[in-house]
A and B are shown apart, each in its own frame.
Chain A
Amino acid sequence: NAGVMQNPRHLVRRRGQEARLRCSPMKGHSHVYWYRQLPEEGLKFMVYLQKENIIDESGMPKERFSAEFPKEGPSILRIQQVVRGDSAAYFCASSQGTGDTEAFFGQGTRLTVV
């Protein structure tokens, strides 16, 4: 059973381009979380999704950021018109559900905006 897979591991984008980050949850997991980690800061919650539904996006910036978790395929975090301040490590986690279950993390995608 492969763990949570994120790709790419490293992504370089110029200001104004789009960044697409992908996350394939562990087999059997239907819940996905996205977190952003900035240098010297902790993990900031961005969005919580179940298949085809956004459950909680209270941590997502109102503009330029969007996330989806389609019925088939990976979860996608999309950042449009990237700016230097978007440079960070983006981690995805998956779990079987709520209650007595833990979340497993992917290796993260390090986004650098130049």
Chain B
Amino acid sequence: AQSVSQHNHHVILSEAASLELGCNYSYGGTVNLFWYVQYPGQHLQLLLKYFSGDPLVKGIKGFEAEFIKSKFSFNLRKPSVQWSDTAEYFCAVITYSSASKIIFGSGTRLSIRP
């Protein structure tokens, strides 16, 4: 069965620091990949997605992610974080088949020190 691993449970950074959150998935076939963000007390919002094409995906709010098929990874990056990026970040995968559910990683809590 497919699964998603997020390596960091809680990341603490200072403003302007660079961010990289790891995400690995286990599935040998074609996948669609997502990063969602959940701000405190709110629902999940899509940050970015990868379906096909350029493996470097640009999202909202300056986030980007790179799909590396050989490593089964889809790490999220941001060159310079802001206090408002404090949130929980979820990586998700859906396999390209007729009856697939979206599988989420366990999430990474990001805390930004002002």
Contacts and interface: CB of A to CB of B under 8 A. Distances in A.
B43 A98 contact: no
Contact of B102 (A103, A106, A108): A103
B106 A98 contact: no
Contact of A106 (B43, B101, B103, B104): B43
A55 B97 CA distance: 12
A102 interface: yes
Contacts of A104: 46
Contacts of B96: 98-99
B67 to A, nearest CB: 14
Nearest to B96: A99
A42 B106 contact: yes
B44 A105 contact: yes
A54 to B, nearest CB: 11
A98 B94 contact: yes
Interface residues of A, number: 21
Interface residue range, chain B? 20 to 34
B23 to A, nearest CB: 12
A98 B104 contact: no
B101 A45 contact: yes
A98 B102 CA distance: 10
A69 to B, nearest CB: 14
Contacts of A48: 99, 101
Contacts of B90: 42-43
Nearest to A103: B102
Interface string B26-42: 00000010101000001
A100 B102 contact: no
20 contacts: A33-B101, A33-B102, A35-B104, A41-B107, A42-B90, A42-B104, A42-B107, A43-B44, A43-B90, A55-B101, A56-B99, A93-B102, A98-B94, A98-B98, A99-B96, A102-B46, A103-B102, A104-B46, A106-B43, A108-B43
The 3 lowest CB-CB distance pairs between A and B, nearest first, are A42-B106, A105-B44, A42-B107
